[in-house]
Amino acid sequence: MKKLYLSCILLIPLFMSSQTDIDGIMMSKNNFCVGTVYQYSSWDKYWEGTFKRENLNLGTVSTKSIGLMGNYGLSDKLNILFSLPYVETNASAGTMKGQKGIQDLTLTVKYVPFEKKIGHTTYSLYALGSFSVPVTDYAADYLPLSLGLKSKTASLRLMGDVQSGNFFSTLSAAYIKRANITIDRNSYYTNNEVHYTNEVAMPDAISVNFRFGYRSNRLIAEAIIDSWTTQAGGFDITKNNMPFPSNTMNALKLGLNTKYTLKRIPELAVVGGYNFVTEGRNIGKSTAIYGGLFYVINFKKTEHDEKCTTKTCK
Distance CA 54, CA 311 (A): 46
- The stretch among 12-20, 62-70, 182-190, 259-267 that binds other proteins (CB under 8 A) is 182-190
Distance CA 117, CA 34 (A): 29
Distance CA 98, CA 94 (A): 11
Q: Of these, 3, 29, 150, 178, which contacts other proteins (CB under 8 A)? A: 178
Q: Of these, 50, 164, 166, 186, which contacts other proteins (CB under 8 A)? A: 186
**Footprint of other proteins on 244-273 (CB under 8 A):** none
Q: Contact letters (x/-) for other proteins, 57-96, by CB under 8 A?
A: x-----------------x-xx--------------xxxx
Q: Does 302 interact with other proteins (rule: CB under 8 A)? A: no
Distance CA 151, CA 133 (A): 7
Q: Of these, 119, 192, 232, 302, which contacts other proteins (CB under 8 A)? A: 192
Q: Does 229 interact with other proteins (rule: CB under 8 A)? A: no
Q: Of these, 113, 167, 299, 305, which contacts other proteins (CB under 8 A)? A: 113
Identity at 176, one-letter amino acid code? I
Q: How far is the CB of 75 from other proteins (least distance, A)?
A: 7
CB contact set of 130 (below 8 Å; sequence gap of 6+): 20, 106, 107, 108, 109, 153, 154, 155, 156, 157
Helix (H) or strand (E) holding 304: helix 301-304
How close are the terminal C-alpha atoms of the chain, in Å?
Answer: 11
Q: Does 109 interact with other proteins (rule: CB under 8 A)? A: yes
Do 198 and 209 meet the contact criterion of CB atoms below 8 Å apart?
Answer: no
Q: Does 309 interact with other proteins (rule: CB under 8 A)? A: no
What DSSP character marks residue 138?
A: -
Q: Does 201 interact with other proteins (rule: CB under 8 A)? A: yes
Distance CA 16, CA 225 (A): 16
Q: How far is the CB of 193 from other proteins (least distance, A)?
A: 6
Q: Does 238 interact with other proteins (rule: CB under 8 A)? A: yes
Residue with smaller CB distance to other proteins, 47 or 188:
188
Distance CA 88, CA 68 (A): 15
Identity at 152, one-letter amino acid code? K
By the criterion CB under 8 A, which residues form the site for other proteins?
A: 53, 56-57, 75, 77-78, 93-98, 109, 111, 113, 127, 129, 131, 137, 139, 141-142, 152, 154, 156, 177-180, 183-189, 192-197, 199-201, 238-242
